[in-house]
Structures are given as C-alpha cells and as structure tokens.
Amino acid sequence: MPTRTTTAVVAHAADDVRVDRIALPDPEPHEAVVAVAYGGICGSDLHYWKHGAVGESVLRAPMVLGHEVVGTVVQSATDGSGPVTGTCVAVHPARHEPDATRFPPERPNLSPGVRYLGSAARFPHTEGAFAREVVLPAAMLRALPDGTPLRTAALAEPAAVAWHAVAQAGDLAGKRVLVIGSGPIGALAVAVAARSGAGEVVAVDLHDKPREIAVEVGATRTLHANDHEAIAAVDADVVIESSGNHRGLASALKGATRGGTVVMVGLLPGGDQPVPIAHALTRGLHLVGSFRFHDEIDEVIPAIADGSLPIEPVITHTFPAAEALRAFALASDPSVSSKVLLTF
C-alpha cells in the first residue's frame, strides 16, 4: 500500500524554508486527521526561518512549522474521542508529558514536559501543522460553534496567549491599561483588555499600521514608541509588555503607576537585559511573567464566535501555502503587516 503524502511548510535550516511533500503518518486510535484551512505565522516560525532556532531550540533536522491552525476533521479518532468527522476545529497546540520538574499543577503550561507543535525544543522535534492534512491527538481539537468563520478562528491560539496574559493582571474594570508593542499579540491584548472592561487602553508601537489596528480593536488612544515622556505620563494601572525587547520593557516600567502591575508576555532574548529595574523597586511594581496559556482557548473560542472579541482587523494578509516564503517575508515586516495567514 503506497504511503499517503501531503503538502507541508518545512524548515530545513536558517534561511531555508521549503514547501515539501511529506509522508502523512497513519493515525493512532486516539488521533484524528484534520484538513487544515488556515495557519497563522507566529514569531517563532519566523525565527526558525531566519535563524534556524528560537532561543535554545535549535533545528537539528527538517521540521514542519506552524501551531496556529484551524480546519475540518476528515477522519475522527477511532477510539471515539474528540470531534466527529465534518466538525470545524481549532487546535490547542500543547501536549503534556510527565516531567519530574516542579511546577504548579494548575499551571501545566509551565511544565518543561510540554511538547508544542512546530517546536525544536526536543529531539526528535515536535512536527508542526502547516500542512494540507495533519494527524493530531483528538484531545488537541476544539470544536468551533456553528457559523464561526474559520479565517477569524485562526487567531484562537494567539488570542489565548493574550487572554492568559491579560488575566495575570486581575480585574481590569475601569482601569487604565498600557500595551507596549501592538503587533499581533499586543493588538489581541488590546482587544481582550477592552472586552474586560478597561476604562482606557493606550497602545504603543513604532509603526503606524499596528497603532491603527490597535484602535480598530479597542484602543482609546495610541502613542509612538519613541515618545518616552508621553508613555511615562500614562501612569497605567496595568501594563502589558508585548514588544519582546528591553526598550519596550523599560517603557513598561516607566509607564506604570506606583503599585501597578507589569505583565511581561513579549519573549525577551536570553541573557541579561539592560532595564531600569530600580523603577520596579521604588514604585512597588508587581512584575508578572506570562508564558503561553493553559485552557484559555476554551474561553476565547466562544468570544470569537459571538463577536464579543472583535479581532478580525488583526489579520492583514492571506497567502496560499505555496507562497509561504513571500508570506514569511511580509510577516517579518511589522510596518506593513500584523497577522499573516497561510491557506491550505
């Protein structure tokens, strides 16, 4: 019997991403086959393309990219678990494996035993889902409410990252929120904060396009990232730092009110970072790290479906998978794009 194959976007090394034909494995009883409709390009995908690595996760073999995907179940799990054939689904990209390292049991996203789709953190690597068809554990699949546009639902995973980050700050009702960095995660954090009842949401970015999108999804005003005096004058109760660089974190610390909370969701480079940490001490700031998410995707999906989380403006471009390199190049330019989707 011939091996079944599919088309996939594969990272081979730094500056070497190809659209390949790959073998499609036979599903185990607990696995389903999903026909992928859309896949969102994440910063991690761009790092594997540009550098062949994300931090210490280095490519040691070709790997299918992608973890932000939606599609339709074309073959349900034979053990009867998960959505049935024909169901439109979003994908929770984490799979938890036993690990002896200590972590809070209610926060499994912090376990080093987590395997994430499209990650080179372990070897053999965890293959991603940028493919025409993928075989996935049924437990990863989340059924979408009837009528939910698949294109918008493609943002469920990054929106869950933003939802988790905003939740780290507690109740936002009536509070002044400052979001540093208005790329995809920052813009989604703006939308989540607005939905959470924030009294004011101020979005910051270097570029015009992200600031325009931030307003479309709920920002009450925006500031240029180089307007340091204006950022410091925001005096925010809560700051969401999503730029992922030390200058953004410095602005976050200076823009927070005394006793305020700074949630750090932007992934900083490894090593020491030159930031004015004395501001955190003398102002009594609460610094909170936010990494991925646990089960917030189950709250995000209904909010997307009922329109209470209006995030469609975050999607700026869509490309067929065959034009993946063009899509990656555009996604790496925040002055002209936000979330770029591939279609399969």
Domain ranges (residues) in the chain: 5-155+311-343, 161-289
Question: What's the CATH code, domain 5-155+311-343?
Answer: 3.90.180.10
What's the pLDDT at 309?
97
Q: Which amino acid is at 164?
A: H
Q: What's the mean pLDDT in 175-180?
A: 98
Q: Which amino acid is at 326?
A: R
Q: Using the predicted structure, report yes or no on whether residue 12 has a pLDDT greater than 70.
A: yes
CB 61 within 8 A of CB 113: no
Tell me: the pLDDT tens digits for 136-148?
999 999 999 999 9
- Sign for the CA dihedral angle at 255, 175, 184, 223 comes to negative
Q: What's the mean pLDDT in 41-46?
A: 96
Out of 11-15, 109-113, 246-250, 251-255, pick the least confident: 109-113
Question: In a 3-state reduction of DSSP, which class is residue 331?
Answer: helix
Q: Comparing C-alpha atoms, which of 221, 184, 182 is closest to residue 205?
A: 182
Q: Measured between alpha carbons, how far is 204 from 43 in angstroms, rounded to an integer?
A: 19
Q: What's the mean pLDDT in 57-80?
A: 97
In which band, very low, low, confident or very high, does the pLDDT at 218 lie, cut at 50, 70 and 90?
Answer: very high
The pTM assigned to this predicted structure is 0.94
Three-point CA angle 209, 213, 216, nearest 5°? 145
Out of 16-30, 92-106, 224-238, 311-325, pick the least confident: 92-106
Question: What's the CATH code, domain 161-289?
Answer: 3.40.50.720
Kindly report whether the peptide bond that precedes residue 276 is cis, defined as omega within 30 degrees of 0: no
Q: Using the predicted structure, report yes or no on whether residue 23 has a pLDDT greater than 60.
A: yes
DSSP 25-38: PPPPTTEEEEEEEE
What's the pLDDT at 240?
98
| Beta-carbon count within 10 A of 289 CB | 11
What's the pLDDT at 1?
45
Q: Using the predicted structure, report yes or no on whether residue 192 has a pLDDT greater than 70.
A: yes
Measured CA to CA in angstroms, residue 91 lies from 19, 63, 149, 265, 270 at distances of 22, 18, 15, 21, 28
What's the pLDDT at 230?
98
DSSP 57-85: EE-SS-EE---EEEEEEEE--TTS-SPPT
108: phi then psi, degrees, rounded to nearest 5: -65, -15
Q: What's the mean pLDDT in 278-306?
A: 94
71: phi then psi, degrees, rounded to nearest 5: 180, -155
What's the pLDDT at 3?
67
